[in-house]
Structure 1
């Protein structure tokens, strides 16, 4: 029979003591560092510059917290060039104001961002303050960190910041950090007008004037073997001068090019035409030569009008084919 050796009544606790409690200022500093890490991880390198947009949590003192985040970014990216936009959503005390801080190592980038933001947000941007921090952080390379702080007014009817403001800020930073190698060479990731036209047409099933007339006639007469069983309209986006000079198509729907997406979008209930109530409408876009119509038709497909297309050769081809034309009275 085994016996147990008596153990000492003394007990040694090898557990580590709990970490000291942080005061409120230290908690805010830790939160700012965590936001800075998240902002850096989400950033992308563009033209050798780290670029990113980050929305932080709402706080009672948004400007001070954004400056803490900016300092934490500077401490982490001491030897790198960067440009960040930090945005704080409305607080309980200021429900219609966002706080925006643009921070970067290059004064030209920050200056350019502030100018683009002023132009993009027009009268919403207020109280822009340059170099708001009383002292700059100096990295090991001696580069200053420049900051612009502003209030972004948001009316109650405006959607959440993520709906428009975040993509807009991404576009602002992208443009601000772009430096063309030569004014005579196209910048990277740009497309010529001919390339854009080819890209648009690659996603359309374009039709000839004869096919357009056939589709419209079949839709009006409810022919069983009609190419499409949806309402079909020819949309004339030419200028008034072109219509008066070259003629019109009887029954064509006159829509200004600038108004086209809003008037034909079924979701724009306050602005759409009476025909634009459903997404399966067959919109056949027509211009004078068949170039602008391709870009316009592609835009319609992007808002969900997948049956939209355009007419090859435009009104000029329609007229050359001997199809009916209505001339304006002199």
Structure 2
């Protein structure tokens, strides 16, 4: 054969050897590698191929990498998601928190567990993260929300808040004590803006430092202090003052006496003739002129409403609530129905019928 070409290949270089005479180059020949080069002297016009030695050994460093499997790729993606969450985490009360949405894949639960392991291996001191799969589920009927925290309390609080915020959309729950919780949720991420904002609210509230249960929160007040504050805004009436006002032949505004006690208390203690009986839980709706369920008489804001309860405590709060609605003439009776009765003012005495033992059968 007049001419032949032999090639030796390695992972980094390709050397071509020819039996044909090479033209004498004017410059030295350069052989380039990936990131370096070296120079050879100019070759003579004709060199037999056998004169050029070929190195047939390959350095161990040049051995090809083993083929990557799908499991390797999934593990790398899980580690990248975990690293991205930790790098972008917010700091809240000394706890790193974060939320991330990722598209649904096959075996979402296994993939989320890989993320959990990657986060746990990072040895963060305090953290709480949520990862939610979104998009059409591949091999299940629901998406999944993964909650991972450094403390069991974080995970437990986040799980309870999740259950409240996504009520009606929750499926099964897979819980690994002290580590993570995975909840199946229908159509996560489909609701514009709500789901991600709700998840952020969950991690922020769950990461809050627990307060001492014996120390009242700043700005709060006990019921007695609150009751004193409310009563300072009312012109409360003694029982006889309320009775005299109700007996006036002419008044500036319509005046009503309102009994807000529960039915069992009225049956037991009696009532006041002529009073309106309105349950406490609907009082505001019945007297608010703006309300669609108001009474026919509640068509103006200058009504004089005198509220009474059994002892005069809940009636003060009720009258204050009416004032907040704009009914500024609302007030209550000091001491309530008990004080009215002790003042020997008119009442309706309940008729109690005794039953024989035979009637109980």
- Tell me the TM-score normalized by structure 1: 0.51
Q: Partner of 1:198 in structure 2?
A: 228
1:126 aligns with 2:154: no
Q: Partner of 2:242 in structure 1?
A: 212
* 2-structure distance, mates of 1:152, 1:306: 49
* 1-structure distance, mates of 2:95, 2:225: 28
1:315 aligns with 2:337: yes
CA-CA distance at 1:172 after TM superposition = 10
1:233 aligns with 2:256: yes
Deviations along 1:260-279, whole A, 9 cap, x unmatched?
Answer: 2333333331x333333334
1:114 aligns with 2:159: yes
Secondary structure of the 1:191 match is: coil
Contact 1:126 1:152 (C-alpha < 8 Å) held by counterparts: no
Q: 1:289 aligns with which of 297, 300, 311?
A: 311
Contact 2:260 2:309 (C-alpha < 8 Å) held by counterparts: yes
* 1-structure distance, mates of 2:296, 2:237: 25
Deviates more, 1:275-284 or 1:287-296: 275-284
Q: Pick closer, same or farther for the CA change 1:292–1:174 going to 2, 3 Å.
A: farther
- Equivalences for 1:237-252 in 2 at 5 Å? 237-252=260-275
* 1-structure distance, mates of 2:287, 2:130: 36
1:181 aligns with 2:212: yes
CA-CA distance at 1:311 after TM superposition = 1.3
Q: 2:281 aligns with which of 249, 252, 258?
A: 258
* 1-structure distance, mates of 2:145, 2:128: 13
Contact 1:101 1:150 (C-alpha < 8 Å) held by counterparts: no
Secondary structure of the 2:344 match is: coil
Deviations along 1:31-82, whole A, 9 cap, x unmatched?
Answer: xx9xxx9x97xx986xx66999x9xxxxx99xxxxxxxxxxxx9xxx98968
Report how many aligned residue pairs link the two structures: 249
CA-CA distance at 1:252 after TM superposition = 0.9
User: Which residues of structure 1 form unaligned runs of 5+?
Assistant: 1-32, 55-59, 62-73, 87-98, 132-143, 154-159
User: Which residues of structure 2 form unaligned runs of 5+?
Assistant: 1-83, 105-118, 132-143, 353-361
Q: Partner of 1:222 in structure 2?
A: 250
CA RMSD of superposed structures (Å): 5.5
CA-CA distance at 1:84 after TM superposition = 9.5
The structure with the larger Rg is 2
Q: Say which structure is richer in helix.
A: 1
User: Which structure exhibits the higher relative contact order, with contacts defined as CA atoms closer than 8 Å and separated by 6 or more residues?
Assistant: 1
Q: Pick closer, same or farther for the CA change 1:263–1:323 going to 2, 3 Å.
A: same
Contact 1:244 1:327 (C-alpha < 8 Å) held by counterparts: no
* 2-structure distance, mates of 1:282, 1:250: 18
* 2-structure distance, mates of 1:311, 1:275: 21
CA-CA distance at 1:250 after TM superposition = 1.6
CA-CA distance at 1:147 after TM superposition = 8.5
* 2-structure distance, mates of 1:303, 1:128: 45
Q: Pick closer, same or farther for the CA change 1:170–1:265 going to 2, 3 Å.
A: farther
Deviations along 1:87-110, whole A, 9 cap, x unmatched?
Answer: xxxxxxxxxxxx999897655234
- Equivalences for 1:129-168 in 2 at 5 Å? 150=185
* 2-structure distance, mates of 1:292, 1:187: 23
